[in-house]
A and B are shown apart, each in its own frame.
Chain A
Amino acid sequence: MHNPSQSGASLEISDLSKAYGSFKALDAVSLTARQGEFLSLLGPSGSGKTTTLNMIAGFTSPTSGEIRVDGREISTLPPYRRDIGIVFQHYALFPHLTAAQNIAFPLQRRGMPRRDVAVRVAEALEMVKLDGYGDRYPRQLSGGQQQRVAFARAVVFKPKLLLMDEPLGALDKKLREDLQGEIRRIHRSLGITFVFVTHDQEEALALSDRIAVFNHGRIEQIGTSRELYETPATEFVARFIGEANIFSGTLVRGDAGLALDTPVGLLPVETRLPAGRQASLVVRPERLEIGKAPHAGSDPHVPATVRDVVYLGSNRRIEIVFDDGRTGIIRGSGRGTDVGAGERIDIRWSIADGYVVPFSSSQTGDGHGS
């Protein structure tokens, strides 16, 4: 029905900055969203993702930089001329208007004839499965229903770009999962470019084509869910996306190749980084194996003590303490994971499952409440 290449807009942001006095809320951020793409802006609160959204919407003016939609610079346009749909965190439905009147609002502003408005409103209500609820006022609707009305209102005027600011944040887990499915369905059927702001990495992983990870007003990495998980660019990304065991130290060249010299021992690694650099090794919890005796082969391995075992049905989550006092996590199933608290174990992984990221001082920024 819709041709995605026609109904979605491309978004290009280049060198976008916002300073409040000496504080840089956003520091030279560049990113692009392709036509019809689902792009998430992910990061802890205060990382700049909402500032970016507000500047795309026109509620905040950039200190410097450009925002282009389909190649057209929009920074100077007032918000009401931008033709961008927005779903707000707390829905921002007009309480004095019914659901149908809320959805009709953007159509009326565009001077659409009354009869066409009625048809489009009915279609929109049907799209979000709220047929028959048009006459209700927002306060007569549940949270999830209000969310749907807000969504319908934001797309009914067929914007080419839809911004969503933590739209599921106020809902409970079950409802969120249902609505995530619906958002994906509607995204596919409309072909609109979606920019989705969230602090919830699972939500971002589940929904997005690509994710931009924000931290301290900068983008740490942009990539697909898989790229972010398997090849994080920085320690921050590694910690923020999923769970990670992280060993920091200096790269040294040993007789068997490169290794990372860490407080818990010399760990063989594969990386293009040169010897002598400070770096961190990231190993995902499900890549770790448990041995009862020290590993004899050439794979990296570290002794540890089991602190706690959490049984999660399909797998177990094992918290461990390394000898330098730092903690780590193992996820797995099967007999190998049958350990008890206090037990001494030896954990190991295949050298290819470790991923080395350069050390940078900004990585210490996880005091930021991630």
Chain B
Amino acid sequence: MRGGIPRSPGRIFAWGMAGLVMLWLTAPVLVLLPLSFSGRRSFRFPPDTWSLRWYENFFTDSTWHASLLTSLKVGLLSTAASMILGTMAAFALHKLYFSGKAFVTGFLLAPMIFPGVVSAIAIFGVYLTWHISGTLTGFVAAHTVLSLPFVIVSVRSALRIFDWELEKAAASLGASPFETFRLVTLPLILPGVLIGGLFAFVISFDEVVVSLFLQTPFVRTLPVQMYLSVTESIDPTVAAASTIIVIVTVASILISMLFWQKRKTSDA
């Protein structure tokens, strides 16, 4: 290796720091796995007895599995909505030239850097008066606006490398604007749209602060249910739920990666 940090001592120091970071990032999640198999109603670590009762509880206690279902519903609906809206926005922004475009772009992307709590009270305040707080509609609307910027960013970077000559070619061959989009543009920017969608789903599936305001005992997402459980009682079902969330997240990433791989090989 040439250049850079003074060879041995610097390198050793850097790897030491990196090792700590790796431990810091991964260890906490690994702790949860044994905790979810605990035999007792305690967060004692490591557990002294083992059981599957917290998983059983998760799937039999309706407050838990209903919240998982709600989370999946909200996640899929808001992902679909923000994928469509985000693709539209990115596409139009790429094609339109006007003064004030930077402002409109900021308008669309700002929720990304808004402090979570600020978004939460802003959304809660008006959704309450519109009576969509505590409804599936409210959850989907809130999660859609929060994940929309991420889809826009992802689709925009796909559009940046898209060759616009291809749209001209399609038009010259007789494809209407809609056919051009469906048959040429969309298939080629699909990776960007899908990555955006993956972001959107994970953001929705993960969201706590806004959902905490919007939740009712009847419509409650899984992270909210976990939050309430952690703050209100000692219930290792949380650990089981965490393990399930990790599995769902990792699975959705793996599935999208597999899908990817397949597309790539079918292209080649």
- Chains A and B in contact, CB within 8 Å: yes
Binding site for B on A (CB under 8 A): 57-59, 78-86, 88, 90, 92-96, 105-106, 109-110, 137, 153-154, 157
Contact A110 B174 (CB under 8 A): yes
How many residue pairs between the two chains, A and B, have CB atoms under 8 Å in the bound complex? 64
Contact A79 B188 (CB under 8 A): no
Known: A94-B166, A137-B267. A78 touches B174 (CB 8 A): no
Which residues of B are found within 8 Å of A137, using beta-carbon distances?
Answer: 267-268
Which residues of B are found within 8 Å of A109, using beta-carbon distances?
Answer: 173-175, 179
Interface hub of B170, B172, B179, B180 (most chain A Cβ within 10 A)? B172
Contact A79 B187 (CB under 8 A): no
Nearest-neighbour CB distance to chain B for A20, whole angstroms, equals 13
> Does B165 have its Cβ within 8 Å of any Cβ on chain A?
yes
Contact A85 B172 (CB under 8 A): yes
Which residues of B are found within 8 Å of A157, using beta-carbon distances?
Answer: 173-174
Contact B268 A79 (CB under 8 A): no
Contact A105 B175 (CB under 8 A): yes
Contact A90 B165 (CB under 8 A): yes
Interface hub of A88, A92, A110 (most chain B Cβ within 10 A)? A92
Known: A92-B166, A137-B268. A79 touches B184 (CB 8 A): no
Does more than half of chain A's interface fall in helix, strand or loop, or is it mixed? loop
Which residues of B are found within 8 Å of A94, using beta-carbon distances?
Answer: 166, 169-170, 184, 188
Contact A88 B173 (CB under 8 A): no
Nearest-neighbour CB distance to chain B for A106, whole angstroms, equals 4
Bound-complex Cα distance A122 to B6 (A): 64
Nearest-neighbour CB distance to chain A for B267, whole angstroms, equals 7
What 1/0 mask marks residues of chain B from 149 to 190 whose CB sits below 8 Å from any chain A CB?
000000000000001011011111111110110011001100
Residue in B163, B175, B267 whose CB lies within 8 Å of A80: B175
Contact A105 B170 (CB under 8 A): yes
Which residues of A are found within 8 Å of B173, using beta-carbon distances?
Answer: 80, 105-106, 109, 153-154, 157
Which residues of A are found within 8 Å of B188, using beta-carbon distances?
Answer: 94-96
Residue in B163, B169, B175, B183 whose CB lies within 8 Å of A86: B169
Among residues of A, the one whose C-beta sits closest to the C-beta of B167 is A92
Bound-complex Cα distance A86 to B165 (A): 11
Among residues of A, the one whose C-beta sits closest to the C-beta of B263 is A96
Contact A88 B169 (CB under 8 A): yes
Bound-complex Cα distance A355 to B168 (A): 44
Nearest-neighbour CB distance to chain A for B15, whole angstroms, equals 40
Bound-complex Cα distance A157 to B166 (A): 18
Contact B163 A79 (CB under 8 A): no
Contact A96 B187 (CB under 8 A): yes
Known: A83-B174, A109-B175. A96 touches B169 (CB 8 A): no
Which residues of B are found within 8 Å of A84, using beta-carbon distances?
Answer: 172
Nearest-neighbour CB distance to chain B for A50, whole angstroms, equals 12
Bound-complex Cα distance A82 to B171 (A): 9
Contact B166 A79 (CB under 8 A): no
Among residues of A, the one whose C-beta sits closest to the C-beta of B163 is A92
Nearest-neighbour CB distance to chain B for A141, whole angstroms, equals 13
Contact B187 A80 (CB under 8 A): no
Bound-complex Cα distance A333 to B187 (A): 60
Among residues of A, the one whose C-beta sits closest to the C-beta of B168 is A59
Nearest-neighbour CB distance to chain B for A341, whole angstroms, equals 48
Contact B172 A57 (CB under 8 A): yes
Contact A80 B168 (CB under 8 A): no
Contact B168 A88 (CB under 8 A): yes
Bound-complex Cα distance A144 to B46 (A): 67
Nearest-neighbour CB distance to chain B for A193, whole angstroms, equals 15
7 nearest interchain CB pairs?
A: A92-B169, A106-B173, A109-B174, A79-B171, A86-B172, A92-B165, A80-B171
Nearest-neighbour CB distance to chain A for B154, whole angstroms, equals 19
Contact B176 A80 (CB under 8 A): yes
Among residues of A, the one whose C-beta sits closest to the C-beta of B172 is A86
Which residues of B are found within 8 Å of A92, using beta-carbon distances?
Answer: 163, 165-166, 168-169
27 A-B pairs (CB sep. < 8 Å)? A78-B171, A79-B168, A80-B173, A80-B174, A80-B180, A81-B174, A82-B172, A86-B169, A86-B172, A88-B165, A88-B168, A88-B169, A92-B166, A92-B168, A92-B169, A94-B166, A94-B170, A96-B187, A105-B173, A105-B183, A109-B173, A109-B174, A109-B175, A110-B174, A137-B267, A154-B172, A154-B173
Contact A79 B165 (CB under 8 A): no
Nearest-neighbour CB distance to chain B for A364, whole angstroms, equals 35
Nearest-neighbour CB distance to chain B for A76, whole angstroms, equals 15
Among residues of A, the one whose C-beta sits closest to the C-beta of B169 is A92
Bound-complex Cα distance A92 to B185 (A): 13
Among residues of B, the one whose C-beta sits closest to the C-beta of A153 is B173
Bound-complex Cα distance A59 to B170 (A): 12
Interface hub of A79, A85, A106 (most chain B Cβ within 10 A)? A79
Interface hub of A85, A106, A154 (most chain B Cβ within 10 A)? A106
Bound-complex Cα distance A253 to B134 (A): 100
Residue in A79, A95, A110 whose CB lies within 8 Å of B172: A79
Among residues of A, the one whose C-beta sits closest to the C-beta of B173 is A106
Which residues of A are found within 8 Å of B172, using beta-carbon distances?
Answer: 57, 79-80, 82, 84-86, 154
